[in-house]
Amino acid sequence: MRRGRGLLTAILLFAGLASAAQAAPVFIASPPVVDRAAGEMELLVGGISEDGTTLKPSAIEVEIDGEAGPAPRAMEVFSEYAQTAAEASQTWKSPLAVGLVYLWVKEVPAGTADAILEGVSGFFRRIPARTNVYATLYGRKRQPIPRLKAAEIGGQLHDLGFLPGDRPNLADAIRVDLKALLGDEGPFKVLLVVTDGRDATDSSGDSSADFSAVADEIEKAGVKLMVVSFPPSEADAEQSTKNLVDLASSGAVRRATEQPLEVQTALESLGQSIADMRRVRLEIPWGWRNLGGTHKLRLNLTTDGKRRALEVGKVTVSAGVTWLLLPLGILIGLLAIAAGVVVFLRKRGRQGEAEAGDDEEQAVVAAAHALIQRGLSAPRALVELTRSYPNDVSSLAELDPSVFADERYPLFKTKAGRRRFEELQALLTHKANDDSLLGNDLAEILSQSISGQAAPDQVASSIAARVPEDQWGAFSRMGLDELARALRASGGSFPVLASPRARGVALEIQAALRNESLNSAKNSMTVGWLVRAAGQGKRGETLRLPSGRAVLGRGPGCEVRMDGDTQIAQQHAAISERRGAFTIEPMQGTIRVETKPVSGRAPLGDGDTIEIGQSRYVFKCVSSGNVGQSRFGI
C-alpha cells in the first residue's frame, strides 16, 4: 500500500512540475471597458512565454462575431500609459486591482520566506503605483490587510510576524481575498497566490478543499489567477500537488519553482508581464452604438512572428435610446424610482464616508499623541506619521481644537504636549516657495540616482543618512503636483530632474522613504530621564531611568535614589516604560504631574513636570531608530 501511494505521489509530482515547465504560452486580456461618448472600448492585452518572460504583441487583428472588425485605434505599453496618466491627473485610477495570497509560516523552506517578500515587492514595483492591492497572509489563521496601493505594500509586509503554521487554510484564504478583490471597481482583476499547495479543512488536517471548485469560483468571477508554487514537505507532496493542479485547471498562469531565487524571479517576471501588456483602443461599430446587444470578441495576436488567437469573450453594449421611444409614463416612473434610490444611496454613502473619515482621523491623532508622548521632535514625529498614515496625516493641520480637551489624549492637556502638537501642525501648514522645495543635497542625490538608475530603497537610505529629517520628510509627503513643481524648480541646477522619467523615479523613492524597511531604521530604543528643576539638590541634576520599571524613593532597593528630600517615602512612586511609552504611578507617597495630583497610573510625556516631596523634576524622553505603528500606545 505504501509503495503504491509513493508511486502515485511521484506520478502527480511529475505531472504537476512537467505541466508547469512545458506549459504553452499564456495570453491574457482584461474585460473591455466601453466608452459610448468616445465611441470606443479599451482593454489590456499581453502574454507570458513558457519561461515566464513577456510576450509583446506586435500586431493585433480584431474579430467580432466571427467577422473581421475595425483595426485598433491605438496600442501602447500599459506601464508607460499609467505613468503618463498619473502625472497628468492626481485623481487617475489604475484599471488594475490585485489580490495577493501567500503562505507565511516559520515552516516555509529556508530562504523562501525572504524570496517571497523580495519577489512580491518586485512584482508591485513593476505595476502602476496607484493599483489597489488586497493582501491576505495565511497559515492556520488568516490575516487580511486593509487595501493598500502597489507603491506602499513592500514596506507594510516586511515587519509582519509569522502565523501559526499547522493546518494551513489555503482555500479559505483565497476566498477571503477574492471577496475583497471583487469589491474593487477596477475592471481588470488579478489574484496572485504564492503557496506550497498544502490545505487543511478540518482540525485533524486529514482532508483538503476542492480546489477545482475554487478555480471555478475564480474563473466565474472574471479574475485572472496567477500561481507561484514552491515544494512542500514529502509528507504533504501528494495532496499539495493535486491541489495545485486542480487550482490551475481553469487557465491560470502557474510557475512551479524549486529554489528560493526562482520564487523571487517568477514573481518579478509576472509583474513585468503585466507592466508590459498593451493598452488597446478599438472603435465601437456603428451598429453596436445604436442597436446595442451582446457580441463575441476575439483577438488574433502576432508575437515573435507567430499568430495566436485570444478569446476575449462577450461584450455587452447598451442600445441608443434616441429613436427607441418608451411610454412616457413608464419612463417618468422609472426615473422617479431611480432618483429616490440615488438620493437614498448617496445619503447612506455620505454617512459611511463620514464615519470612515472619523475613524481614520482618530487613528492618526492617537498615533500623533503616542509619538509626542515618547519625546519625538515635531519633524521626527511627522516623518513617522507619514510612514504609517500617508493619506491622512494632512488632516492634523486643520484639527478641531476640541482635541485638546479629549480625555483620550491627556498629554494634549499639558503645555508641553500642546506646544509639540502645534509645532507639528505648523510644519504641515508651512508652504515652501518654488526655489526651496528641494534642498541642494536632496536634489543632488535624486539627480545621481536617476542618472545611475539606482534602486529606490538604496536611494532612500542615502537620503535618510545625508538629508535633514524635516527636509526628506517634507519630500516624502509631496503630492504629484507639488512633486512636479519641485523637480522643475531644481531642473536648472540638475537638468535630469526636469525629465518626464524623473517623476516616476521620485514616486518610487517617496514610497521607499515612507515604508519601514530602511536598513538604517530597523531597531528602536527609548530612553527616559529626570532633570531636577527645584528642591533640595543641584539644579539641573540628571537622574537616568533604567528600562522597564523604576521605583523612585529613599529606600536602598530603589532604582532611582532620592536621599536628600526627607518628604520622599522609601518607595514613593514608580515610572514604567512599555513599548516606548512612559507612565507614572504613586506608591507610598503623593505625586503631581503638571500641577495635578495623580491617584493611579498616568501617562508621561516629554517635558512634563513632576512634583515629588519638596522637589520638582522635568521628565525627558527620546526615541531613536524606527518608531513603527505597531509600537504606538501603552
Q: Is the pLDDT of residue 173 over 90?
A: yes
Cα torsion 546, 549, 555, 560 to 10°: value is: 30
Record the cell numbers describing residue 34, joined without a space: 466601453
Is the pLDDT assigned to residue 336 strictly greater than 90?
no
pLDDT in tens, 106-146: 988 889 999 999 999 999 999 999 999 999 999 988 888 88
535 is written with which cell numbers? 528642591
Facing residues of 525 across strands? Answer: 624
How would residue 364 be classed by pLDDT, with cut points 50, 70 and 90?
Answer: confident
pLDDT the model gives residue 10: 41
Does domain 524-631 match CATH 3.50.50.60? Answer: no
pLDDT at 453 > cutoff 80: no
Angle, helices 480-490/500-514, rounded to nearest 10 degrees: 120
> What does the pLDDT average to over 20-36?
75
Q: Categorize the per-residue pLDDT at 516 as very low, low, confident or very high, splitting at 50, 70 and 90.
A: very low
Q: Of 298, 307, 301, 295, nearest to 278 (Cα)?
A: 301
Q: pLDDT grade, residue 361 (50/70/90)?
A: low
Task: Check residue 206 and give its pLDDT.
Answer: 65
Residue 67, pLDDT > 90, answer: no
Residue 579 falls in which region: left (phi positive, over 0), alpha (psi -120 to 50) or beta: left
**pLDDT the model gives residue 203:** 54
- Are 34 and 41 in contact by the 8 Å Cβ rule? The answer is yes
Distance CA 289, CA 66 (A): 19
Domain residue extents for the chain? 29-55+74-281, 344-429, 434-521, 524-631
Tens digits of residue pLDDT in 374-392:
666 777 777 777 666 666 6
CA 446 to chain CA centroid, Å, is: 24
DSSP structure string for 367-411: HHHHHHHTT--HHHHHHHHHHH-TTTGGGGGG--GGGGG-TT-GG
Task: Please say whether the beta carbons of 438 and 446 come within 8 A.
Answer: yes
Average pLDDT over residues 497-501: 76
Question: Looking at the DSSP assignment, which residues form a beta bridge with residue 315?
Answer: 295
| Beta-strand pair 602-604/609-612 | unpaired
Model pLDDT for residues 518-544, shown as the tens digit of each residue? 444 344 567 888 888 888 777 778 888
| Mean pLDDT across 75-103 | 91
Rounded average pLDDT over 581-602: 87
At residue 34, the pLDDT reads: 84
The neighbouring-strand residues paired with 298 are 63, 311
- The residue ranking higher by pLDDT, 401 or 197, is 197
Which set of grid coordinates corresponds to residue 4?
503504491
582 — pLDDT class (breaks 50, 70, 90): confident
Burial of residue 211 (number of CB atoms within 10 Å: 0-12, 13-18, 19+): buried
Confidence at residue 349, expressed as pLDDT on a 0 to 100 scale = 55
H-helix or E-strand spanning residue 190: strand 188-195
Pick from 271, 272, 298, 276: which is nearest to 76 by CA? 276
Three-state secondary structure of 462-505? HHHHHCCHHHHHHHHCCCHHHHHHHHHHHCCCCHHHHCHHHHHH
Closest CA to 507 of 61, 135, 29, 84: 84
What top-level class would CATH report for the domain 29-55+74-281? alpha beta
Q: Residue 355 carries which side chain, given as an amino acid letter?
A: E
Q: In whole angstroms, how far apart are CA 420 and each of 127, 343, 416, 514? A: 39, 44, 6, 22
Position 16 pLDDT exceeds 60: no
* Measured distance between the N- and C-terminal CA atoms of the chain, rounded to whole angstroms: 58
Half-sphere exposure of 206 (CA within 13 A, CB side): 1
Which DSSP helix (H) or strand (E) runs through 274? Answer: helix 260-275
Alpha-carbon gap, residue 57 to 281, rounded angstroms: 14
pLDDT at 388: 64
Residue with cell 495566436: 308
Between these two residues, 471 and 67, which has the higher pLDDT value?
Answer: 67
Cα–Cα separations (whole angstroms), residue 264 to 3, 99, 113, 348, 454: 35, 18, 10, 44, 19
CA atoms of 441 and 428, how far apart (whole Å): 22
Inform me whether the pLDDT recorded for 226 exceeds 90: yes
- Most confident range, picked from 61-65, 200-204, 374-378: 61-65
Cα(385)–Cα(422) distance, rounded to whole angstroms?
Answer: 15
Residues 6+ apart with CB under 8 A from 246: 210, 211, 212, 214, 215
The pLDDT of residue 628 is: 44
DSSP string, 93-140: --SEEEEEEEE--TTSPTTHHHHHHHHHHHHHHHS-TT-EEEEEEESS
The three-state secondary structure class of 145 is strand
233/240 Cα distance (integer angstroms):
9
d(CA 585, CA 602): 6
Q: In angstroms, rounded to a whole number, what is the distance separating the alpha carbons of residues 380 and 469?
A: 7
Query: How far is it, in rounded angstroms, from Cα 399 to Cα 378?
Result: 16
What is the total residue count of the chain? 634
Q: Output 292 or 544, whichever has higher pLDDT.
A: 544
CB 514 within 8 A of CB 393: no
* pLDDT (mean) for 339-360: 56
Query: Mapped to the 3 state alphabet, what secondary structure does 294-363 carry?
Result: EEEEEEEEEECCEEEEEEEEEEEECCCCCCCCCCHHHHHHHHHHHHHHHHHHHHHHHHHHHHHHHHHHHH
* Segment 472-491 mean pLDDT: 77
CB 232 within 8 A of CB 194: no
- Contact, 197 vs 227, CB < 8 A? no
Taking all residues of the chain, what is their mean pLDDT, rounded to a whole number? 78
Share of the chain above pLDDT 90, in %: 23
Q: Which residues pair with 48 in a beta bridge?
A: 26, 54
pTM for the whole thing?
A: 0.51
Backbone torsions φ then ψ of 122, nearest 5 degrees: -65, -40
Max mean pLDDT among 127-141, 290-304, 335-349, 608-622 falls in 127-141
DSSP 233: -
Cβ 634 vs Cβ 386: under 8 Å: no
Q: How many CB atoms lie within 10 A of CB 31?
A: 17
% of the chain with per-residue pLDDT over 70: 78
Helix (H) or strand (E) holding 219: helix 211-220
Confidence band, pLDDT 50/70/90 cuts, at residue 217: very high
